[in-house]
């Protein structure tokens, strides 16, 4: 599912049609991205946790040659699914 398909699915469930669904999806994404960028943890009970994680610099390996490669420190977003999300996905299989 892509963003457009997500908007369409939400538009079927709320009043105001596709326009309001697009605004709602954009607002949720923006709020999560802004909070995580500022170092805040976003917890949505049952769904999951979005957070910012700092990765230390390290030495990796080039898979083609096996030569060591320096990997600089970085800051990345991380998502951990909640228990309800996990059980919903595992019960569908």
pLDDT, tens digit (0-9, with 9 covering 90-100), for 18-69? 999 999 999 999 999 999 999 999 999 999 999 999 999 999 999 999 999 9
pTM of the predicted model as reported, rounded to 2 decimal places: 0.81
**Two tokens, residue 55:** 């990765």
Q: Where do the CATH 4.10.520.10 domains begin and end in the chain?
A: 41-93
Q: Give the H or E element holding residue 35.
A: helix 17-37
CATH of segment(s) 41-93: 4.10.520.10
Which parts of the chain fold into alpha helices (H)?
A: 3-11, 17-37, 83-91
């Amino acid at each position: 599912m892509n963003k457009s398909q997500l908007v369409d699915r939400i538009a079927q469930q709320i009043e105001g049609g596709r326009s309001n669904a697009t605004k709602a999806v954009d607002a949720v994404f923006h709020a999560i991205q802004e909070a995580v960028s500022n170092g805040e943890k976003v917890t949505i009970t049952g769904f999951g946790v979005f957070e910012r994680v700092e990765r230390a610099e390290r030495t990796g390996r080039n898979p083609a040659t096996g030569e060591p490669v320096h990997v600089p420190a970085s800051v990345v977003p991380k998502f951990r699914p909640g228990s309800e999300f996990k059980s919903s996905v595992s019960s569908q299989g």
